[in-house]
Structure formats: structure tokens, C-alpha cells
Structure 1
Amino acid sequence: MSEQQPSSGVTSPDGPASRARAFRPVAPPAVALADLSAVLGASVSRGTGVLVSGISNDSRAILPGDLYAALPGAHRHGAEFAAQARTAGAVAVLTDPEGARLLADDDLPVLVHREPRAVLGDLAARIYGNGPDDGLRRFGVTGTNGKTTTSYFINALLRALGTVPGLIGTIEILAGDEAIPSVLTTPESSDVQALMARMREHGLGAVTMEVSSHALEFHRVDGVVFDVVGFTNLTQDHLDLHGGMEEYFTVKAQLFTPGRARRGVVIVDGGWGGRFAQASGIPVTRLALPGEPAEAEWRVQDVASHGALGSDFVLAGPAGERISAHVPLPGEFNIANAALAMVMVLESGVSPEGLEALFAEGEPLSVQVPGRMQLLATEPRAIVDFAHNPDALERALEAVRGPEGEGRVIVVFGATGERDAGKRPIMGATAVAGADVVIVTDDDPHDEDAAAIRAAVLRGAEEARDSAHPDRLVEEVFPRDAAIRRAVELAGPRDTILVAGRGHEVWQEVKGVNIALDDREELRTALTARGFRVSTSND
């Protein structure tokens, strides 16, 4: 769908137009409509000298001087809202032949293209003056798990090196220290280009983006040429959109093509990582983790785990480089995230000696990523993580498991509604394999029946318990806040509680209603009620 329309033409002060201003540069350049037409090789009806200073496909977010992208939607065509866009200040319309037919009697200039969404990003880049040599280094991270943490690590390294970086991600959008509300993992392509122009205007030297498969499939990163892109891993997720792993792989691989990136870094293994490196259409640097026999230019070696305090490791390079590093987050997957961030920064032109000096002087990776292995208490250990698919859940459970005899692992989790239903029983089995106490609850049911989702997860959990882990305790507790309280009720000081699946999220969607729910606050409240000491952090 191109957009959702309000019931009236009135835009609230904190509505789409207000949010659009937050994304835009303060002083955008102006481009003649004729120049945009020439760039696309598209026809324009009239007004070739009209100056365009912005672009949006949401009629409610139009600002004066904008080109309104009237795109076809699932139920209505964006051209039906051109009058609203004109009232808001649109000076021209980009649309397809059907939209042009709907606008035949309109006096706004109309730029016609067969696939307007496919050119939205390129047009926005031209309007805002963005390009691969505009002085803003662009880093893109893709993969099923680890995108957010890797992005935060990249920005922490850049900041330690003296660069003011921006961030476009799941949790937040940052222009230096300025926070901009984040709605999607990646905003629309026109918003991405506007954000990059704003960052350049503010003197930022780099930006890091999480690039999801949805962003690639729906053209949200069109018009962006990344200096360095990175690949974390590929595991089962989003198959409701892609249909199968091969299709999922094909979409992800689009990022490693000349039209989208200059260089790539891939964590290689015997599976998808190795295939990713081989299929890349751009120069690729390979990174191997401990125990991986794959050929690679950079390797992680000499790992020393310190439990909840993170790990030490050495990043060994092709010319004998050895960079000793510390990552403060627990788990082997966070070593992988940290090493990937380091190699991506190296591939952007930073010398190994410069990176090595950062770790010799301090801990440049000491950044807390909200809702990613976030430690809220130590007795019992209480952790909130975003793990919401089988692979991420397995890794998180491995990361929080202490030495033999240290205590039980209690996990609270659910599965998301209207998403890949095939992973639900797998997640139940994964939880039983990795935890002593498994509490199945609700994640975001969306419009699905929550009980049916829980039943699918429970089926996998109970089958795994009955066949291989008869000592495991499996319970179904809902709603989610009650499940978190139940976990704390069962926990002793030496146990570990992992609340998985929602991480930083503060709203739970149930039957179209957003219910305020923050796993971190619920866990802190439950711990405090039982007399346990909790972290004073506000994150």
C-alpha cells in the first residue's frame, strides 16, 4: 500500500508533516522538474521549469515545494490524494500511467513513469544532492541477526576515530546526537535520502544503516551507493514474505551488487556465508570465525570469554596484523558482530594500526545497545534480548548459560503473529534445548489468534521435552507481563532469566490495538517486587 489516509484532511501537529520536517535538510537545493524528467527519461505534462525541493509518497507529509509521488496501493491509488498534496504545497506529481489518467483534469505538472516506486530513491538522491562522492561515508549491514548490534559497533568505532556518525536503524535514527523517531527498520527511500542530506548539512562524516530484506524488496534503499556493506548470517525468518531460503538469499544478495555498494565484508562459513561471498558482484573481504575452515582474509582467534562481561579476542589479518579487542556483550555472536564492524571500518580506509591504537587506549566497543543482551540485574541475572527467531534464540540461550552448577536458565518468549508460522514449533524446541524453565507467552499477535500462536510454540516445546529433555519445566502463561512475573517468581539468586523476542520495543500489537508494554520495565518491576536489586539504567 502506498499510504494510509486519515479520516479527515487535517494533519495534527505531531503528524506525518511534522515528522517529515525532522527527516529533511533545513536548506534543501532546488531542482527543475525538467532536470528530473531528463534523469528518468520520463515524460512530463507541463511546468518543466517548476522547482522541486523535496519528495514524499505520503500526501499527509508533503511540504511546500515537494514532488508528490502518487503510487499505486493495494486498495486505492495515491493519485486520489493529489488534491490533499496540492493543498499542502506539492508543486508536481510523480505517478504511473494509471495515476496520470486519474489526474487528467488536474492542473499540477505530472511526471509519468511506468514504475514510479522503482525510481523514487534515485529521484530523491537527485533532489537532495546526494551521491557516492558527497563526503558522507555509507555503511550498510544486512543479515538475519546482528544488524543492529553491528551497526552500533561501527558507529562506536567511527566516533572513537573522531568521525561524527549517523545511524538509521530499528531502534532509532541518529544524526550525530540528535534523535529522530524510527518507524521502520529502514524508512522509505525518499526519507533515507532526505536523512542523508540532513546529516551532510549537519557536518556528519558517515552514516550506518541496517538493511533488511524488506528494505531491498520494497525499494527503500534505492538510490543509495554504500561505501562498505556487511553480511552477518542467514537463518530462517521472514519466509512469509520470501517463500523460502533461496528466495530470501537472493533478495539479500542484491545489496552486494555494483549499483548498491563499492565493497563488501562477509562472515563466511560452510553455508550461506560462503555462498554470499561467491555470489557477490563487488569486491569482498572474507571474515572467518573460530572453528570455520573457510578461506578468509581476516580471522577471529584466541577468544577468551568472561561470561556476562563479554569476551577478548584477536582479529588476525592477511599481512600478519593482530588487533587485540574486547567486546563487552556476552556470546559468540557478539564477537562476530564486533569483528564484522571492525573489518568494515578497516575496509573504509582506516589503517589496522589506527584501529589497534583505539583498543590499546580504551574500549571503543563499550556501547549499550537497547534491548540487545541488555543486563538488568545480576542476582538473578536478568537479561532482555530481541531474539525472535530460532537461530537468534539458540545463540542467546547459549550466551546466558553459566558454568555447570551455577543455576538454571529461565526463558520467557513467544512468536509473532502474521509472520513465518513454520518457525513457531522450532522456537519451542529450541527453548527446551537451551533452557531449564520455558515459559511460552505472547509476542505481538497482530490480528492472529494469540492462543493458536502459543499452541504452535507449545507443541514444539512439549515434543522436545518429551523426547529428549524430560526434566524441563514448560509452562504457558499470558499475558506477557504475567509471564515475566512468573519467571521472576521461579528464579533464585543464582538463576538467569532471559526475556526474549521484543527487546527495545515498547508497544505490543493485539487486534489492531497498541498496548504499552516494555519488557525491560516489566522485568525491573517484577524483580523489585521480590526484593532483588536491579540496574539503575534508564535505557
Structure 2
Amino acid sequence: MRPTGVQPIPLASALGRIGLAGSGIRADLPLVSGITLDSRSVQHGDVYAALQGGTRHGADFAAAAVRSGAVAILTDEAGAELYAQAPAAAGSDVPVVVVPDPRRAVGPLAGVIFGTTDRDGAAPALFGVTGTNGKTTTTYFLDALLEALGRSTGLIGTIEIRAGREAIPSALTTPESPQVHSLLALMHERGIDAASMEVSSHALEFGRVDGVRFEVAGFTNLTQDHLDLHGTMEDYFAAKATLFTPERCRRAVVLVDDPWGRRLAAAAEVPVLRLRTEPADEGDDVADWTVADVEPSGLGHSFALVGVSGERLVLRCGLPGGFNVSNAALATIMVLASGVRLDELQHALDRHDPFTTEVPGRMQLVGEEPASIVDFAHNPDALERTLASVRRPGGRVISVFGATGQRDESKRAVMGAVGARLSDILIVTDDDPHDEDDAVIRRAVRQGAEAAVQEEELACEVLEIFPRGAAIDRAVARATPADTVIVAGRGHEVWQEVRGVDVPLDDRVELRAALTRYGFSVLSAPRIES
């Protein structure tokens, strides 16, 4: 998904515009019309950015990039040395440009090459959402609300990338920076005037949104996750906070329900609207907008947003879970912060019901009797919010989940304990083990659950069943029409990675098949979804 109308620019000029002129940069560098980090996606006229990866240096693939049409290589000293030693480099006239920190240069350079550095007239108005939980749903809510307002929209996130109606599955929550800038240029080329993007901590840490400036940035919450990357919650918070600076956004909306949100709102270097969706603690600052009058409405809720000066919006969210009230409220105030009038916003909310849009794998309802739900909850806080929101009067909660391999091990036992507290039957199974022993992962989750059962005298029945399809089958076999079956952790994903092999597995397909097998009805026909 690249724009077709990129005007080639002299590479030396583009480097000069991001402050890398001189310092050994040749003046006779070629014209370039694209940039990529992936040697497999090189097109003629591209700069190939050869960066150090987790296990290999991108320079190992530079010769292949040149064969595919790369007209220059951007790298560090180590990459230049590696390429110089490659047999294909001998006699090649493709210049190698060495800069001190190529990863931090790539984003701004992509912005210049694709013409997205100056937003006015060159890219859609951007709404960026960060936080541990709720990013995906909030971006889908933003997209639906912007469409209800008559905007032509784009979406960049965990599930898919869309430039208008054309969609492709996503490989990363936030793509690498050259792809981000290329997508923004493509959206501009197609007349798209607003786009929503998930901004992960990995994206901020590794420069994937460098050179991008958001119209409005939103913050959902911060809970334990990704400590395998960041090490501590303080470092995790610091990575998120870098989005809320003048270089990255014009204004912000911050959920201040948790201490991290309140801290971020106080520290942000841009104008902030504070949004509260849960009752305030004594001594908390007054929020600019507050959720009020929450009432059940179908599977979801109706509620109001009340401004500090008495302004009022009335909303409805059709998705289950109180946390989706928070997601819908955040999307609404972000759009309001972008300059949309209050009356225009209320008209769109009344006429189109945008927050009933289905979000793949996010509180996705597969069957109603028993209530059968697939959700992405894969950390302790998300799991607690999800399980606490699905219990129905007179029915049991039967939960199925595991933990991901080669990720933060400390959350496994915690998730098991959360599941035991909020489930009547907990079935521990496999998530994506990656290269780790699946039995070791299951044991850590199960031990956390069993310890909570014993220490807290819980009535939860804890089972360990694998593979995952068999666990889902057992959950449905144990269910009655009044119960709720919740399959958590993988959401929209359709492949399970086991020791380097991608095994087809879609929780929604498995759950529909089990419901049908035991004589229950399903809400939609079985199919692989993405």
C-alpha cells in the first residue's frame, strides 16, 4: 500500500532537511522515491535502511535490496562494514550512507521522501491512541464516529490497516516508520481526511512514529504489560509519555481514572483535556469531562458525558463491558478536541450509533445462549476487567485462557489468580508458546489459580486442558444456556505460533464449532476472520 504520485527527491537534499547534511554526506547522491527497512519490499528508487535487528543486521540483506532496485543504502558503521565484505558489493555503484543513529533518522527521512512532514495538505488529520488496554477498540470507535461525521477515514492498528475500504492484515500494532509515512501519503492521495492509529510503547521506543505529528493523542490506562521490553513500570510510563510532547501531537485527551493517567495529564507538554469515567477519589482534581448516568442498554450501556461547565453529550455503546464505556468516551472527547462542534457531534451520535460497531476479537459475541465471547485480554488488568463484566444473573462464568511464551513471566500466576477469582470454571490452556515449553507456561498460570483458590477459599474449579481447541470444546460442553463462556488472550488472531510453526487457530471458529456441536445457536457463519 504505497502512493503512486511520489515525486523523486535528491537524497542529499532529504538528508539535509532532517539535519544530516555534511558530515561526509555526498552531494551527488541519487534521486529517491521511497524508503523501506524490509529488503523484501524494496521498489525501484528506494533507499534501503539497513538497521541492526534482534538477531541479524539489515546489512546482511543489502545485496538483495540492491538487486530489487534500491538506489542507496542507509546504515551505521557496522552495517557499512558488513556490506563492504559482501561479494555483491564489489563493483557496485550504489552509495552507502553512514549516519550515527539510522533508526532515528528513518522516520523523519520517510516523512520528507513521502511528503508527510508538514501535515497541512499532505496527510490526513491523525488521531493516535496509546495505553496498555483499549487501544484497538478506541481506534475503531474513532473511525466509526469520524465516518458518522461524514469524514473519509483510514485506520492503522493491531488488526488491520485501511486506506478507505481497502484493508490488509497487520503484522505489528504500529508498522515501521517508512510504512507509516507511506500509508499517510497514500491516504492523502486517496482523499482520506482523518485516520486513527494505535501507538504502542514498542512503536515509541523503536521510532516507528518518528516524524509523525498527531492532531490529538489519547491515553487509555497503564497496567502491567511489556515489562520484558521496558523492565519497570516507570520505564514503561516514560515510553508512553513521549507521545504527549509538542513534537508528536498538538493536543491530548487523557483518561485520569488511574494514577498513571493523572500523572501523565499533569506532566504532558501539550494542552490536555482530562476525562474521568470512574468515580473520583477524595482529593482528585476536577476532570474536564466526566461519565455520568450509566445505564444498561442491550448488551452495552447508555451514558452521558458532562463537561466541567455543564455541557452534556448523550451516548450509547452497544459492546459489553464497562471498559467500553471508557473507550467510547475517550473516542468522543478526542473528536471534540479536534474542533468538531458539540451539536454536530451529538447529531452524529444520535443518528448513526457509531459505538455499536463490531471490533474483531474485542468482546466479540459469537453466541447468546450461552453468552459466548472472544476477547483479546492478555494481561492481568484486561483479564480482570473482561471477566468482571460478563457475569449474568443466575449464570456461571466459564473462562478459557493461557499466557504467551517468551513474554513477561511475572504476569502468568497473576492472571491465573484473576481467573480463579472471577470464574466458576477456569480452563488453563495454551496461548502462543513461541519457542518456550508450553507445559511450563500452563503450569505457572495454573499454580497462580490454584494458590488463589486455596488461600482465598474460592469455589472456582481449575482445569488444565490442551490443545486450545479441546479446552474451548470442554468449556462449551460444561455450559448451560444461562452461563457465559469467555475465551481470552488471542482475540482476532488466526495463527498460533508453536516452536517457529504457525498453526491455524481462530478462537471464534473453534467456539462456533463447539457451540454447534453441543446444540447451541451461533450468531454468524463459521469463517476465518482477520
Tell me which interval the TM-score lies in, with the shorter structure as reference length. Answer: over 0.9
Q: In the aligned structure 2, how far is the partner of 1:108 from the partner of 1:435?
A: 61
Q: 1:132 matched to which residue of 2? A: 119
Other structure's SS at 2:62 match = helix
Other structure's SS at 2:487 match = strand
Q: In the aligned structure 1, how far is the partner of 2:361 from the partner of 2:54?
A: 34
TM-score by length of 2: 0.94
Structure 1 residue 70 corresponds to structure 2 residue 50? yes
Q: 1:41 matched to which residue of 2? A: 20
Structure 1 residue 279 corresponds to structure 2 residue 267? yes
Structure 1 residue 332 corresponds to structure 2 residue 336? no
Post-superposition offset of 1:357: 1.1
Post-superposition offset of 1:215: 0.7
Q: In the aligned structure 1, how far is the partner of 2:178 from the partner of 2:335?
A: 27
Q: 1:298 matched to which residue of 2? A: 289
Other structure's SS at 1:509 match = strand
Q: 1:3 matched to which residue of 2? A: none
Aligned in 2, Cα 1:270/1:62: closer, same or farther, shift over 3 Å? closer
Matched ranges for 1:116-515 at <5 A: 116-130=102-116, 131-133=118-120, 134-293=122-281, 294=284, 295-306=286-297, 309-403=299-393, 406-515=394-503
Tell me whether 455-464 or 361-370 shows the greater mean CA deviation. 361-370
The 8 Å contact of residues 257 and 278 in structure 2, kept in 1 or not, is answered as: no
Deviations 1:324-382 (A, max 9, x none): 10000111100000000000000111111111112232412221000010111111110
Q: 2:8 matched to which residue of 1? A: 30
Deviations 1:480-534 (A, max 9, x none): 0000000011001111100000000000011111100000000000000011011
Partner AA of 2:157 in structure 1: G
Aligned in 2, Cα 1:512/1:100: closer, same or farther, shift over 3 Å? closer
Deviations 1:261-310 (A, max 9, x none): 1111000035111011111111111001131243210110110023x620
Aligned in 2, Cα 1:478/1:258: closer, same or farther, shift over 3 Å? same
Aligned in 2, Cα 1:75/1:240: closer, same or farther, shift over 3 Å? closer
Q: 1:60 matched to which residue of 2? A: 40
Post-superposition offset of 1:102: 4.4
Other structure's SS at 1:388 match = coil
Aligned in 2, Cα 1:319/1:29: closer, same or farther, shift over 3 Å? farther
The 8 Å contact of residues 44 and 109 in structure 1, kept in 2 or not, is answered as: no
Tell me whether 249-258 or 529-538 shows the greater mean CA deviation. 529-538
Q: 1:17 matched to which residue of 2? A: none
Partner AA of 1:32 in structure 2: P
Partner AA of 2:102 in structure 1: P
The 8 Å contact of residues 44 and 110 in structure 1, kept in 2 or not, is answered as: no
Partner AA of 2:240 in structure 1: K
Aligned in 2, Cα 1:76/1:373: closer, same or farther, shift over 3 Å? closer
Deviations 1:130-156 (A, max 9, x none): 022235100100000000000000010
Aligned in 2, Cα 1:390/1:52: closer, same or farther, shift over 3 Å? same
Q: In the aligned structure 2, how far is the partner of 1:383 from the partner of 1:252?
A: 30
Q: In the aligned structure 2, how far is the partner of 1:256 from the partner of 1:470?
A: 43
The 8 Å contact of residues 397 and 435 in structure 1, kept in 2 or not, is answered as: yes
Q: In the aligned structure 2, how far is the partner of 1:49 from the partner of 1:415?
A: 49
Post-superposition offset of 1:465: 0.9
Matched ranges for 1:82-101 at <5 A: 82-101=62-81
Post-superposition offset of 1:203: 0.5
Partner AA of 2:69 in structure 1: G
Q: In the aligned structure 2, how far is the partner of 1:270 from the partner of 1:518?
A: 33
Q: In the aligned structure 1, how far is the partner of 2:60 from the partner of 2:364?
A: 46
Q: 2:60 matched to which residue of 1? A: 80
Q: 1:535 matched to which residue of 2? A: 523
Q: 2:87 matched to which residue of 1? A: none
Other structure's SS at 2:343 match = helix
Q: In the aligned structure 2, how far is the partner of 1:526 from the partner of 1:67?
A: 50
Other structure's SS at 1:255 match = coil
The 8 Å contact of residues 62 and 90 in structure 1, kept in 2 or not, is answered as: yes
Other structure's SS at 1:149 match = helix
Other structure's SS at 1:256 match = coil
Q: In the aligned structure 2, how far is the partner of 1:499 from the partner of 1:385?
A: 6
Aligned in 2, Cα 1:420/1:196: closer, same or farther, shift over 3 Å? same
Q: 1:10 matched to which residue of 2? A: none
Deviations 1:459-496 (A, max 9, x none): 11001111224421110000000000000110011111
The 8 Å contact of residues 187 and 220 in structure 1, kept in 2 or not, is answered as: yes
Q: In the aligned structure 1, how far is the partner of 2:199 from the partner of 2:447?
A: 33
Post-superposition offset of 1:75: 4.2
The 8 Å contact of residues 128 and 216 in structure 2, kept in 1 or not, is answered as: yes
Partner AA of 1:33 in structure 2: L
Post-superposition offset of 1:420: 0.6
Aligned in 2, Cα 1:399/1:470: closer, same or farther, shift over 3 Å? closer
Partner AA of 1:300 in structure 2: V
The 8 Å contact of residues 124 and 193 in structure 1, kept in 2 or not, is answered as: yes
Partner AA of 2:515 in structure 1: L
Aligned in 2, Cα 1:461/1:103: closer, same or farther, shift over 3 Å? closer
Deviations 1:160-189 (A, max 9, x none): 000011000000001111102311111110
The 8 Å contact of residues 413 and 444 in structure 2, kept in 1 or not, is answered as: yes
Post-superposition offset of 1:317: 1.4
Percentage of pairs with the same residue: 57
Q: In the aligned structure 2, how far is the partner of 1:187 from the partner of 1:270?
A: 28
Unaligned runs of 5+ in 2: 85-89
Other structure's SS at 1:269 match = coil
Post-superposition offset of 1:33: 1.4
Q: 1:20 matched to which residue of 2? A: none
Q: In the aligned structure 2, how far is the partner of 1:98 from the partner of 1:511?
A: 31
Other structure's SS at 1:478 match = coil
Q: In the aligned structure 1, how far is the partner of 2:52 from the partner of 2:461?
A: 51
The 8 Å contact of residues 47 and 109 in structure 1, kept in 2 or not, is answered as: no
The 8 Å contact of residues 433 and 469 in structure 1, kept in 2 or not, is answered as: no
Unaligned runs of 5+ in 1: 1-22
Partner AA of 1:73 in structure 2: G
